[in-house]
Amino acid sequence: MKGWKYGMKKVCINCSESFVIPESGQNKIYCSNKCGEIYRGQGHPMYEDGLSAGKIGTIAELEVSSDLMKKGFEVYRALSSASSCDLLAIKNNKFWGFEVRTGYKRKNGEVCFPKNNIRAEYVAIFIHMSREIIYYPKL
C-alpha cells in the first residue's frame, strides 16, 4: 500500500488509539493535537508546572552541578549567559566544559533536547520529570 489516504484508519504513535485520517491530514501521525504535543514534549508536565523556562534552566544547572559533585568533580557555574559553557568541572586535573540542556524522553525512549548553539565539549541533558541526567558523550 502506497501512502495513507483520506478516510483510512491509522494508529496514533502516542496513545495507540486508531483514528480516521482527515481530508487535510494524510501525513498525520497523532489522533489529536494533545497527543502530538505530549509525544513531542510540548504537553509534557515540565511545561505545565508554572515554572518559567529560566527557572527550569536554573534548576537543571543546579541538579547537574549536584550530580557532578557527587561524582567527585569540583564544579563552577558561569556568571555570564555569553559563556562558552554553563558549568566548568575539574577532576584529576582535567577540565570539563558542560552545556546544560533541559530535555524530555519520548515514549519510544528517544531523548530530545535543543541542539543549537552548543559550544561546550560535553552536554548534560536534564529530564525534568524523572530527574534523570544524561551526559553526551558519556562520562
Structural domain boundaries in the chain:
9-40, 52-136
The pLDDT of residue 22 is above 80: no
Cis peptide bond prior to 137, omega within 30° of 0: yes
Q: How confident is the model at residue 48 (pLDDT cuts 50, 70, 90)?
A: low
Above 50 in pLDDT, residue 1?
A: no
Per-residue model confidence (pLDDT) at position 41: 61
pLDDT band at residue 42, thresholds of 50, 70 and 90?
Answer: low
Confidence of residue 68 (pLDDT cuts 50, 70, 90): very high
User: Domain 52-136 carries which CATH code?
Assistant: 3.40.1350.10
